[in-house]
Structure 1
Amino acid sequence: MCKMLNAAAADRNKDPILEVLKTRVTSDRHLVALEISSGTGQHVIHFARAFPNITWQPSEVEAQSISSIEAYRQYHGLQNVKPPIYLDVSQSWENWGGIQAESCDLIVNINMMHISPLACTMPYAFNGSITPQSNVDFDQSLRYRNPDWGLRDVSLLTKLGQENGLRLEGIVDMPANNKCLLFHKDSVV
């Protein structure tokens, strides 16, 4: 059996993120959710327990993480969690491992935007300002490790969302100076 990886931040943030999801997701019908950049697999298992009406599709780009997600899936035996797929979101959605356009009711992405190139597109910058100092230090350490990484400005993410048919619906404060951005795709009539 594969090894289940454990991330302290995932354990710390899973309940606050779940509370945000509970305010936005209905439990009265079956839904399909894609989790982009599922990491260790801790979040998807936690969310799947809370939302048995949602079929969860975890995804990752790193083989070690895919193995960990599968280990969590096997261990917990939840029927509403599909096997993880390889997904490189820097590629066009047509190459997303069989995910079809308009096939997901919900897309969840946690802790990826700041550790990936902008093409793939936590704490965020607001109008070019990053606070508190711990987030400034975090941004500098990310950019030192990889110039394509770093905290994204909410105004840039809002603009990119609008260009792709997504509307910033809300911003929720999270633990450790993080923010949860909620985007909504308006229905095409």
Structure 2
Amino acid sequence: MSKLPPNASVASQTEDGKLCAPSALRNAPVIVELLQQIAPPRGRALEIASGTGQHISALAAAIPQIDWYPTEIAVDRITSIDAYAAQAALDNLRPAQLLDASVQGWAASHIPYDLIYLGNLLHLISAEAAATVLLEAASTLAPQGHFVIYGPFKRDGILSSDGDAKFDAELRAANSEIGYKDDQWIKQVLTGAGLDASLVQNMPANNLALIAKRKPL
């Protein structure tokens, strides 16, 4: 993981092995509502960078017709994800798997997914790593599957709030290779990978959800 400022990813440890991020508590309901609207009637869903596990446990509970596959790069977060899964006791929530989604070629070992969710990662990695994440994810998306990317972004190259400008500056001061990615750049990468990346939805706290779809065969 890239060097980050202290406020980039805040999570506290609980006695039962779970990590709790206040931001995940706040934004989980709107993310669940969004994915409920586009989830297929059945299928497989991948979450890239599942973090604490709060999002995917909520998604698996709210969208039971989908089998959910969490992944993470950090071992302590794998432990937390599995602790949330054990508490939820859901048949459609699979054990967390280690995955560095910024490494080229990982998609080749994955069966296509009908839904892929990626939240709050791209501003924490370099543009090169972000492009790899997007391209690999796109290549493992099933025909007519959806790829949902949530988080803070530049909009047409502009940081649209003082809070975003401050956070982006803090990220770049900690590591000059990271920081907010532009929504138009993400659309360009996904379009180049054969996806229809035309839908953008405003989310709370000045975040965006970028929704792309694999074209039918």
TM-score by length of 1: 0.91
Structure 2: give runs of 5+ residues left out of the alignment: 1-14, 132-150
Matched with 1:115 is 124
Identity %: 32
Task: Answer whether contact 2:70 2:96 (CA < 8 A) is retained.
Answer: yes
Amino acid at match of 1:41: G
Output the aligned Cα RMSD.
Answer: 1.6
User: Larger strand proportion, structure 1 or 2?
Assistant: 2
User: How many Å apart are 1:38 and its aligned residue?
Assistant: 0.3
Deviation at 1:149, TM superposition (A): 1.4
CA distance in structure 2 between the aligned counterparts of 1:117 and 1:127, rounded to whole angstroms: 19
Distance 2:82 2:188 in 1: 35
Distance across 2 between alignment mates of 1:52 and 1:155: 33
Alignment match, 2:54: 42
* Structure 1 match to 2:30: 16
Q: Report how far residue 98 of structure 1 moved.
A: 3.9
Q: Deviations over 1:79-117 (max 9, x none)?
A: 111110111111124x359423xx200000010111112
- In the alignment, the residues of structure 2 paired with residue 187 and residue 140 of structure 1 have an alpha-carbon distance, to the nearest angstrom, of 40
Instruction: Describe how 1:83-162 pairs up with structure 2 within 5 A.
Output: 83-93=95-105, 95=106, 98-100=109-111, 103-118=112-127, 119-121=129-131, 122-162=151-191
SS at match of 1:105: strand
1:60 to 72, 82, 90: 72
- When normalised by structure 2's length, the TM-score is 0.80
Measured in 2, the distance between the counterparts of 1:31 and 1:169 equals 23
Match of 1:179 in 2: 208
After superposition, the C-alpha distances for 1:52-92 in whole angstroms (9 at most, x for unaligned) are 11000000001111110011111211111111011111112
Deviations 1:104-142 (A, max 9, x none): 000000101111122234111122111111100111111
Structure 2 distance, partners of 1:97, 1:71, is 28
The DSSP-based 3-state class of the residue aligned with 2:20 is coil
Deviation at 1:162, TM superposition (A): 1.0
1:179 Cα deviation after fit = 0.8
CA contact 1:56–1:82 (8 Å) conserved in 2? yes
Contact kept? 1:165, 1:185, Cα under 8 Å: yes
Determine helix, strand or coil for the equivalent of 1:21.
helix
